[in-house]
Structure 1
Amino acid sequence: MKKPGPFYVFALISVGILLLVLPCCQMPDSSAESPDIPRDTAISAENAYSGLFFDSLAMEEYLDKIAVADTAKKLFREFYNQRNFQFAWFDTSGVAEQARSFWNLQENFLAYQGDSSIYNPFLQRWSDSVAVYGLKAIPDSTRPHVEWEMTFQFFRYAAKAYLGNKNLDASALKWYIPRKRIDILSLLDTLVIDKGMDIRRYEPVNRQYTLLREQLKRYYSMKQNGSWDTLITRKSRLKEGDADSVLLKLKHRLSMGGDLERNDSTILFTKEVTAAVKNFQQRYGLKEDGVIGGTTLTELSRPITYRIRQILVNMERLRWVPSEPTSDYLLVNIPEYRLHVYEGGKYAYNMNVVVGTSTNSTVIFTGKLRNVVFSPYWNVPPDILKNEVLPGIKRDPAYLARHNMEWNGGRVRQKPGPKNSLGLVKFLFPNSYNIYLHDTPSKSLFSENKRAFSHGCIRVSEPEKLAAWVLRSDSSWNTNRISLAMHSGKEQYVVVKKDLPVFIGYFTTWVDRDGKLNFREDIYGHDQRMSEKMFGTERSQ
């Protein structure tokens, strides 16, 4: 069987899924478009006869008695038809190795996710019996029923662990990137063939999900091994050379977070603490001044439960997205205020961006970059025309001339030039949200730690570099011609010849390329809304 390749960070592919509902179960519709993982037959004519089979008529009687959607029964039948009705979870030794591996995998999921919605009392009793009496604890008479329950349980687990919570409406949570789909039968085939060994190789989750899962376990351990109360000091700021009793807790917290290598029992703010604070600030996207106060103190004081839920919320989002494209693509992570450039699926570089304000939030979606536009006009959006430009014209008849604007039919546009609000170049990926990437004359904003200043579009800090990268395979566009086009004062559209996916995502925690766990502010409140859906309305302070 062909194995799926590795899964990498923040990968997003625009594909849809169709779900069906079982009791405590959701699965992809088998009528969905061609799967990501080509399905192979687990049992062929050469390897089918191991001597452990069940009666297909008994299976049909079982299916007739259970309340399961027809599409689910179709998947179930397909799995066993292609196995020639051979047992998947049992062999001549009793309970097969893949059954134990899967059960351990599910137990770990229930433990770290804190989600018991797929808990199966019948199979739990079976598991307990095996633990006490060994692999042959299941009598022949009940073995088929356990077998079939295990297969449906795998469907339930795979849907929940790899597709996410079906009760969370992504669009209601302002997430407009289509959820991924999985080939659940191909995944099950692989698990059975490989006896559940090294399942991490082919789990349909991206690498970032796996990294956060390990960090989540660490945070659970931190929660069990010490308190995480609010840090209180009478000083507004603590810096190197200061002494304060709160530094005992601060050092402990910095040490647990991995920022302070060696903790000590003094109340002194040492140079080692300064370095640790700067590392903490870098991981949290704060000003790296090594001083504890204001936002730094607030973030250090967050309860451990708050961070655990933040990780769980972002892991849920990551279940919605498949593996990383192997093509070129662009990824904007809104809370990070950063654009990441990937070449052939490999990280190339990143740059700072400015995103929409909380009032004019940048939309989470995906598109394909179609055009680079040099020396662009700016067609003033209707809301800005109504709220800013028309009142300006009323106050000052010379308003349009002073802002290098002109009427264009019934609309107003700003002429190309260095003071144009879009700068000297824009990057279009057609979408219904009227969002695109562009240059800006307001360069100073890129030096701010928090960069939510726009009306929703995304301003890039290095537009000329990005244009050169996007057009690098077009020999007619070198850096000199790009610079001339940007400063020509004449609008020019250039078609991007190859598909270039653009993903606008929203992740407030991730593990970076140095292995450091990062957190960012929930600038649009998306985390809070998801947290309330996942954990209830009680806010975690």
Structure 2
Amino acid sequence: MKIIKVIGIVCLMCLWLSAAYSKAGERDLAKVMADHLQCYPLEILSFEEQNPIIIKKSVCLAAIYHKSGAEPLWVSEKGPGERAAIILKYLRNAGNEGLNPADYQVKKIERQWADLSLNSLAELDTLLTYNMVKYIHDVSYGQLKPYMVNPKLFAEAGERGFDPLKMVETIRKTEDLEAFFQSLPPQHRQYMGLKNALIQYSGMKYSGLWQKEILRKSIRPGDEDEKIIEIKKRIALLENAGVESLTTDNLSLFDDDLMKKMIRFQLNNGLEPDGIIGPKTMRELNKSPQERLDQIKVNMTRWRWHDHTLGDKYILVNIANYRLFAYETDKLKFSMPVIVGELQNQTPVFSDKIKYLELNPYWNMPPSIAKNEELPKLRKNPNYLVNKNIRLFSNWQKDGVEIDSTVIDWNAVTPSQMAGFKLRQDPGPANALGRVKFVFPNQYFVYLHDTPSKKLFSRQTRSFSHGCIRVSEPEKLAAFLLNEKDNKWDRERVNHLINLGKRKVLKIRPTIPIHITYQTAWVDKNGQINFNGDVYRRDEKLYQALFIK
């Protein structure tokens, strides 16, 4: 049973009155501070239900000031100090990180800033403390609000183990508070690129040049229409070229130059690059700067959930963009199309390390696939497993014996019985994992792998798997992972081992980080902001959890 144990009442007044103060002003401030803080309950939650202490303001403040010996942290009887000013500066500028300054009571702090009455100073100190701790948590790990709204969908949000007491102790020992605050958010190029895009779209929002809706009908290259003038202005704004860059030659004509720009726009927005302004392209063109700002903020939040250090050499998979990126020394080496989990079997978001790859792998079919998909096929065709080069074993134990799948009455086999069988597909051209499997052991049993179904990579939308990630160029990826300074690998060397036809495990030394992300707004190698579809329909849910009260 989950129990909250209240183990004490912290009467901060007692602590304050017992402190020795040399100045009357300090004693007076101490007494007022005690009156302000006295008898906040210090609650200790049971291990089974350990809600973060930062969630409840009164508990958080009681714990912090009790631990600190009940001293004012940022103010004196003369007013807020230099470190208080630095704290307020970062709370004011929370919008630069896609956060809302109103969440950190900035206006209330500003109203009390110049008020030197002891009551106001006492409250100001606690306002700075709580909102500073809250900001540090949010900019470092993401707000806890999404997790509190939907723990399953937003399991990565926030840091439940965040300790505000230790954080305050760290800050009090930190000499360069500016550098400390600057180091809190992610510093990698993906996050910083979104931060720059936030500035760009904020400028568009307040420029006065953005028309609410510029188009309601499809337009093709060669067409002439007055609306094309507005389209050219819109593209100029989006490319930061400025409306003044437009030529005066027949602005209402859909010319070759506009077609090239539309193709670039479509590529940057996850659309089919045909140069035609159809319904989908029209919808993206008509999206307002505020809609884009909301989208950017949501994706900045997602990056705070990840490791802030991505690694010197790493793999990044963007589920929402159906693409894998390989980076080394912060430079993009290559990218490739991938296939991700379908809506019913979503690919999870997490980080791990690739430890080894397997050439010509076996495929041990998950029981869920065996009972839900293979059993119905076997009932129609008892030779189905043989035709697919899939072997049947009596169980998943080492002593499981091989069974002839063609002699079983599959109509008499229940789904639960089917799950007890082990189905293993031998290496070969029809193997579901293709010729290479990339392994990073994890709780989701997800990995990267090749596939015999190459045609699917040409699709614009590629959510077809059961959760694992299929890669379009496995040999290229394998060579990148295996290649070291003193041990050179290329696609030819990988292909030579594959063509031997034997199963072989190759360890990755050192292991290489992999970050499986879900980004509907991201920056390319040139720092250009890109947007794409929301295949799992997560953006609106996350936005609601973050910003709608």
Both proteins in one fold, TM over 0.5: yes
Matched, 1:251 2:228: no
One-letter amino acid matched to 1:440: T
User: What residue in structure 2 maps to residue 486 of structure 1?
Assistant: 498
* Higher mean C-alpha deviation, range 389-398 or range 470-479: 470-479
User: What residue in structure 1 maps to residue 480 of structure 2?
Assistant: 469
User: What residue in structure 2 maps to residue 396 of structure 1?
Assistant: 381
User: What residue in structure 2 maps to residue 174 of structure 1?
Assistant: 153
- Cα separation, 2, equivalents of 1:52 and 1:431: 61
- Per-residue CA deviations over 1:29-84 (Å, capped at 9, x if unaligned) read xxxxxxxxxxxxxxxxxxxxxx9995696566654355656665454466689xxx
One-letter amino acid matched to 1:324: T
Matched, 1:498 2:510: yes
Name the count of aligned residue pairs. 471
Say which SS state the counterpart of residue 238 (structure 1) adopts.
coil
- Cα separation, 1, equivalents of 2:134 and 2:486: 51
Structure 2 stretches of 5 or more lacking a match? 1-22, 42-56, 395-420
- Cα separation, 2, equivalents of 1:436 and 1:143: 56
1:424 offset after TM fit, Å? 0.5
User: What residue in structure 2 maps to residue 20 of structure 1?
Assistant: none
User: What residue in structure 2 maps to residue 216 of structure 1?
Assistant: 198
One-letter amino acid matched to 1:126: Q
Matched, 1:441 2:415: no
- Cα separation, 1, equivalents of 2:548 and 2:37: 36
- Cα separation, 1, equivalents of 2:157 and 2:331: 23
Counterpart contact for 1:355–1:458, Cα < 8 Å: yes
CA shift in 2, pair 1:394/1:148, >3 Å: closer
- Cα separation, 1, equivalents of 2:382 and 2:538: 42
Counterpart contact for 2:357–2:437, Cα < 8 Å: yes
Matched, 1:289 2:268: no
Say which SS state the counterpart of residue 147 (structure 2) adopts.
coil
1:120 offset after TM fit, Å? 5.7
From 91, 103, 114, the counterpart of 1:117: 103
One-letter amino acid matched to 1:154: M
Counterpart contact for 1:424–1:487, Cα < 8 Å: no
Counterpart contact for 2:136–2:184, Cα < 8 Å: no
CA shift in 2, pair 1:86/1:396, >3 Å: closer
Counterpart contact for 1:53–1:86, Cα < 8 Å: no
- Cα separation, 2, equivalents of 1:498 and 1:349: 20
Say which SS state the counterpart of residue 312 (structure 1) adopts.
helix
User: What residue in structure 2 maps to residue 515 of structure 1?
Assistant: 527
Matched, 1:412 2:423: yes
1:354 offset after TM fit, Å? 1.4
Matched, 1:382 2:382: no
One-letter amino acid matched to 2:246: N
Identity %: 30
- Cα separation, 1, equivalents of 2:87 and 2:274: 48
- Cα separation, 2, equivalents of 1:77 and 1:344: 46
User: What residue in structure 1 maps to residue 414 of structure 2?
Assistant: none
One-letter amino acid matched to 1:64: Q
One-letter amino acid matched to 1:215: A
Say which SS state the counterpart of residue 369 (structure 1) adopts.
strand
User: What residue in structure 2 maps to residue 524 of structure 1?
Assistant: 536
Matched, 1:263 2:246: yes
- Cα separation, 1, equivalents of 2:121 and 2:67: 20
Counterpart contact for 2:363–2:433, Cα < 8 Å: yes
Bigger relative contact order, structure 1 or 2 (CA pairs below 8 A, ≥6 apart): 1
Residues 14-413 of structure 1: pairs in structure 2 closer than 5 A = 54=26, 58=31, 63-66=37-40, 72-76=61-65, 88=74, 95-109=80-94, 113-114=99-100, 116-119=102-105, 122-127=108-113, 130=114, 138=116, 143=121, 146-169=124-147, 172=151, 174-177=153-156, 179=158, 184-185=167-168, 188-189=171-172, 193-194=175-176, 196=178, 201-207=182-188, 208-224=190-206, 225-234=208-217, 236-239=218-221, 241-258=222-239, 262-263=245-246, 266-343=251-328, 347-409=332-394, 410-413=421-424
Q: Normalized against structure 1, the TM-score is what?
A: 0.75
Say which SS state the counterpart of residue 315 (structure 2) adopts.
strand
Structure 1 stretches of 5 or more lacking a match? 1-50, 131-136
* Higher mean C-alpha deviation, range 311-320 or range 101-110: 101-110
From 416, 419, 423, the counterpart of 2:434: 423
- Per-residue CA deviations over 1:356-397 (Å, capped at 9, x if unaligned) read 222322111233323311101122233332344333333334
CA shift in 2, pair 1:346/1:275, >3 Å: closer
1:119 offset after TM fit, Å? 1.5
CA shift in 2, pair 1:79/1:495, >3 Å: farther
Say which SS state the counterpart of residue 325 (structure 2) adopts.
strand
One-letter amino acid matched to 2:347: T
One-letter amino acid matched to 2:136: A
- Cα separation, 2, equivalents of 1:377 and 1:460: 17
Counterpart contact for 1:373–1:427, Cα < 8 Å: yes
Counterpart contact for 2:92–2:101, Cα < 8 Å: no
- Per-residue CA deviations over 1:245-301 (Å, capped at 9, x if unaligned) read 221221222122116662357211123322321221222122333322232222112
Counterpart contact for 1:335–1:507, Cα < 8 Å: yes
CA shift in 2, pair 1:472/1:89, >3 Å: farther
Say which SS state the counterpart of residue 351 (structure 2) adopts.
strand
One-letter amino acid matched to 2:447: Y
One-letter amino acid matched to 2:459: E
- Per-residue CA deviations over 1:135-181 (Å, capped at 9, x if unaligned) read xx636786465345423332233234433322211864634547455
CA shift in 2, pair 1:320/1:126, >3 Å: same
Superposition RMSD on alpha carbons, in Å? Answer: 3.6
Q: Normalized against structure 2, the TM-score is what?
A: 0.74
One-letter amino acid matched to 1:165: Q
CA shift in 2, pair 1:248/1:412, >3 Å: same
1:222 offset after TM fit, Å? 2.3
User: What residue in structure 2 maps to residue 25 of structure 1?
Assistant: none
Say which SS state the counterpart of residue 145 (structure 2) adopts.
coil
- Cα separation, 1, equivalents of 2:313 and 2:226: 52
Say which SS state the counterpart of residue 510 (structure 1) adopts.
strand
Say which SS state the counterpart of residue 377 (structure 2) adopts.
helix
Counterpart contact for 2:147–2:157, Cα < 8 Å: no
One-letter amino acid matched to 2:133: F
CA shift in 2, pair 1:54/1:277, >3 Å: farther
One-letter amino acid matched to 1:533: A
Query: Greater share of helix residues, 1 or 2?
Result: 2
One-letter amino acid matched to 2:145: N
Counterpart contact for 2:142–2:158, Cα < 8 Å: no
Counterpart contact for 1:372–1:426, Cα < 8 Å: yes
Counterpart contact for 1:421–1:441, Cα < 8 Å: yes
